[in-house]
Amino acid sequence: MKIVINQDKLINSIQNVTKAISSKTAIPILAGLKIQADHEGVTLTGSNSDITIESFIPKEEEGIQYIDELIPGEIIVHASYFPDIIRKLPSETVEIEVDEQLQVTIRSGNSEFDLNGQDAEEYPQLPKIQTDSTFELPINLLKHMIKQTVFAVSTSETRPILTGVNLKVENNELHFIATDSHRLAASKLPLSIDQEKFPFEQIVIPGKSLNELNKILDETDETIQISVTDNQIIFQTEHLFFLSRLLDGKYPETSRLIPEESKTIIYAQTKNLLQAVDRASLLARENHNNVIQLQTIDDKTIEVTSNSPEIGKVEEDVTINQIDGEELKISFSSKYMIDALKIMDTEQVKIEFTGAMRPFIIKPTDHDQLLQLILPVRTF
Amino acid sequence: MKIVINQDKLINSIQNVTKAISSKTAIPILAGLKIQADHEGVTLTGSNSDITIESFIPKEEEGIQYIDELIPGEIIVHASYFPDIIRKLPSETVEIEVDEQLQVTIRSGNSEFDLNGQDAEEYPQLPKIQTDSTFELPINLLKHMIKQTVFAVSTSETRPILTGVNLKVENNELHFIATDSHRLAASKLPLSIDQEKFPFEQIVIPGKSLNELNKILDETDETIQISVTDNQIIFQTEHLFFLSRLLDGKYPETSRLIPEESKTIIYAQTKNLLQAVDRASLLARENHNNVIQLQTIDDKTIEVTSNSPEIGKVEEDVTINQIDGEELKISFSSKYMIDALKIMDTEQVKIEFTGAMRPFIIKPTDHDQLLQLILPVRTF
């Protein structure tokens, strides 16, 4: 194998695939990065037990030559050395040559590295996925839905299924749902095709996989191709291939958690409320659950308070747009409230309460595609 | 005590004094931040066993009013809550009021915090230093000399005196010297007053103190006032007071370590050499001492190499300006070399060797105020 390749392009691809590589892997060869050259270009691969990422660098694209010389072949290089080496090379052009003893020679300017490679034959083969179960989403929309839900997955392995985001199709809509059983985040969008033709009814994608995918994808309105099999999901753009395993098991039915009626509704400025809750949270850190109180004062004011006997207390009157319904005094985790308000994409929010002991929901005022639910804490 | 004060100005002062505050202090009151208001303005104080920092906010300066209301008094507030609270307040003006039960009320916009304060009487008194032992330095020059030396102090407490930077006056010059016994960094500047009139012959300032001082001081050509007593040093600008203890004990005589003659002299471009050494260091990380090799090739070329049998090897020819003297092959820590080259303030450096087993020195080519010494490693 021999390639003479553009340094920036190579660095960019390396950054993408190393997100899947961990030095703490049970399969030693997966601590390496796979380089594969064929006549079309160079493919880099990184993988762990959950995800596999491939990034392709074409020989030439839109009239720009990225690879000057190309003799096909493949090799595994040390993922803990190769990225830093490429990044620090002195010249914009990098030559990588592999000999029969799997010695990898990297040349750039006056610098020459000789690395011990590993046989690419030992690298696990990617499953060849044969499926017609494919749909498309604009990348910025996918990123948006990931960000609106993935923070709410459980970080505990007690119920592994809750560490994933549930994607399900219902009422001709695609739903993203995440919950750690103390709060829930749900985002949905109308399907452009008929529900019957959609490739799945429901799947659960590990939260970690979606976080990595979100990091790799640039904000763009181009679409991404999504394919699903029994136990894997593949996200694919022109030069990127991202495969994640799916979580086994049945995701809990969450719709019955969402109260259908409410007794108190508050309409507030998202940013004002977020900042007041953030300030109140400063004195709630000592309690592990970050509990703060919210109380209706009059029809234009709520009070946000927190009290930590050792440190002190905080009180803030927040002027709001409107309150409908009963008076209310409720306690909840400021962390969950901050998480929920941060991802609201509208200037105003509507918060629907059904009493101090029942879950409450936070919604944008302008649309109904997003819903956040928080369980209160009993303190009164 | 009551003050109504500008938020930004207060945040800035807090940032300075909290550098001296540690939550892990043996004296609990020192985990607090002292606020003291008198008719001239507000003074904040933070302190630990090594350093004390005071920052003063005047009522008014250059026609700008920073404090609107001022009733004298003093209080100690929680340093782990107060800074975040002030930073997150909604309005640009902050009111701080202390009642007789040491309750600290902070008001800003609609937000009100009530914190439990502590009696300022319990806070250790700063020693009132009476000394005529004072000299001045431009701040940017002081920062420059700190940066050129402080990285070379020892991080081990085996010989505590080496964790400090030695300041000494000799030949009508002020010297900054730091060594961890494997390398040495020295910077000097000519005195503007007669050596006999200088306030000390030699002192040792903890490296940590100088690092904090460097962070607090802005790059400016204004001067800083430096006073020295038996066991303390004070750096003082108009609104800042920085006190550090000095290290006890005799700093080793380092001048005899510096070779007086050399057998090989290399003149190189600082940046080229730094980058080549940095690349070679990539494969030297596995060895704890980061050892790389340097070898003269011809009168315009040196070769920098590193070899890690498990990972691979790197070779780089570095074109240099000139070599004088004998051929040379030497091994040393790439980390020490990178540290030394990074702080060189000239485009070219001169490296003087006295054989593979003797310390070598790195100097700027344009002036002799800076000297770095590195002990080689025996590998051949």
The ipTM, to two decimals, is: 0.89
Chosen for mutation from A77, A80, A81 (greatest number of chain B CBs closer than 10 Å) is: A81
A279 touches chain B (CB under 8 A): yes
Beta bridge partners of A103: A116
Residues 59-118 of B with CB under 8 A from A: 78, 81, 84-85, 88-90, 103-104, 110-116
CB contact under 8 A, B311 and A283: no
Q: Measured between CB atoms, does A172 come within 8 Å of chain B?
A: no
Is B313's CB within 8 Å of A85's CB? Answer: no
Say yes or no for a CB contact (<8 Å) between A312 and B113.
yes
Comparing alpha-carbon positions, the chain A residue that sits nearest to B272 is A90
Q: Is A320 on the interface with B (CB under 8 A)?
A: no
A129-159 pLDDT, tens digit each: 777 778 899 999 999 999 999 999 999 999 9
Candidates B86, B87, B91, B111: best to mutate against A (most CBs of A within 10 A) is B111
Window 115-134 of B: residues touching A by CB (8 A cutoff) are 115-116
Say yes or no: B279 contacts chain A, CB-CB below 8 A: yes
- Chain B (280-309) residues lying within 8 Å, Cβ to Cβ, of chain A: 282-283
Residues B343-360: what's their mean pLDDT? 95
- Asked if B314 and A112 come within 8 Å (Cβ–Cβ), the reply is yes
The residue among A355, A357, A352, A356 whose CA lies nearest residue A368 is A352
Give the pLDDT confidence score for residue A380 in this predicted structure: 54
How far is B324 from chain A, CA to nearest CA, in Å?
22
Which of A346, A186, A343 is closest to A253 using CA atoms? A186
Both tokens of A137, joined, read: 């989403």
Q: How far apart are CA B353 and CA B380, in angstroms?
A: 16
* Cα A316 to Cα B108: distance, rounded to the nearest angstrom: 10
In terms of Cα–Cα distance, which of A258, A266, A265, A306 is closest to A286? A306
Q: How far is A48 from chain B (nearest CA, A)?
A: 22
Judge whether B236 and B335 are in contact, CB under 8 Å.
Answer: no
Residue B86: partners with Cβ closer than 8 Å, 6 or more residues away: B7, B10, B11, B14, B94, B106
**What are the chain A neighbours of B314 within 8 Å (beta carbons)?**
111-114
pLDDT digits (tens, 9 = 90+) for A44-103: 999 998 999 999 999 999 999 999 999 999 999 999 999 999 999 999 999 999 999 999
3-state secondary structure of B290: coil
Q: What is the CA radius of gyration of chain B?
A: 25
If you average pLDDT over every residue of chain A, what do you get?
Answer: 94
Give the separation between CA A148 and CA A341, rounded to whole angstroms: 10
The string of pLDDT tens digits covering residues B267-318 is: 999 999 999 999 999 998 776 579 999 999 999 999 999 998 889 999 999 9
Hey, what are B337's tokens?
């070399």
A341 touches A273 (CB < 8 A): yes
More confident residue, B10 or A201: B10
Helix (H) or strand (E) holding A372: strand A370-374
> Which tokens hold the place of A268?
């507030």
Question: First CA to last CA across chain B, in angstroms?
Answer: 71
Cα–Cα nearest to B36, from B80, B9, B1: B1
Roughly how many angstroms between the first and final C-alpha of chain A, as a whole number?
Answer: 71
Cα separation, B129 vs A84, in Å, equals 52
Rounded to an integer, what distance in angstroms lies between the CA atom of residue A187 and that of residue A344?
11
Q: Average pLDDT in the A21-39 region?
A: 93
Q: Are strands B32-38 and B41-47 parallel, antiparallel or unpaired?
A: antiparallel
The CA radius of gyration of chain A, in Å to the nearest whole number, is 25
CA A3, CA B178: separation in Å to the nearest integer? 47
Res. A26: pLDDT tops 90: no
- Of the pLDDT bands very low, low, confident and very high (cuts 50, 70, 90), residue A310 is confident
pLDDT tens sequence across A316-338:
999 999 999 999 999 999 999 99
Of B81, B313, B317, the CB nearest to A282: B81
Q: How confident is the model at residue A272 (pLDDT cuts 50, 70, 90)?
A: very high
* B67-86 per-position pLDDT tens digit: 999 999 999 999 999 999 99
Rounded percentage of chain A residues whose pLDDT exceeds 90: 87
Note whether A282 contacts B313, CB cutoff 8 Å: no
Q: Which of A112, A115, A312 sits opposite B114 (nearest CB)?
A: A312
Which of A202, A200, A201, A207 is CA-nearest to residue A159?
A: A207
Sign of CA dihedral A8, A10, A13, A18: negative
SS3 A144: helix
Mean pLDDT for A112-124 is 96
CA nearest B115 in A: which residue? A312
Residue of B nearest to A284 (CA): B81
Query: Residue A134's pLDDT is what?
Result: 86
Structure tokens at B172: 């009508």
Average pLDDT over residues A17-26: 92
Q: Is the Cβ–Cβ distance between B242 and B250 less than 8 Å?
A: no
pLDDT of res. B288: 56
Contact by Cβ (8 Å): A74, A258: no
Spatial contact of B111 and B90, defined as CB atoms under 8 Å apart: yes
Domains, chain B, ordered by start: 2-122 (3.10.150.10), 134-255 (3.10.150.10), 258-374 (3.70.10.10)
DSSP H helical ranges for B103-157? 139-149
CA distance B356 to chain A (A): 24
pLDDT digit string, tens, across residues B7-59: 999 999 999 999 999 988 889 999 999 999 999 999 999 999 899 999 999 99
Query: Pairing state of beta strands A264-269 and A322-325?
Result: antiparallel
Instruction: For residue A317, give the nearest of B85, B110, B278 by CB distance.
Output: B110
User: Does B312 contact A115 at a Cβ distance shorter than 8 Å?
Assistant: yes
The DSSP call for residue A290 is -
Residues of chain B with C-beta less than 8 angstroms from the C-beta of A310: 116
Q: Do B278 and A88 make contact, defined as CB atoms within 8 angstroms?
A: yes
Torsion sign, CA atoms A200, A202, A204, A209: positive
CA torsion angle B221 B222 B227 B232 (round to 10): -70
In single-letter form, the type of residue at position A327 comes to E
What percent of chain B is predicted at pLDDT more than 70?
A: 98
Averaged pLDDT of chain B: 94
Q: Which residue of B has its CA nearest to A108?
A: B316
Distance CA A69, CA A22 (A): 31
Angle at B131 between CA B127 and CA B135, to 5 degrees: 115
Task: Please check whether residue B37 is in contact with residue B73, taking contact to mean a CB–CB distance below 8 angstroms.
Answer: yes
The DSSP letter of residue A127 is P
- The residues near B19 (Cβ < 8 Å, ≥ 6 apart) are B46, B53, B212, B215, B216
pLDDT at A196: 82
One-letter amino acid of B213: L
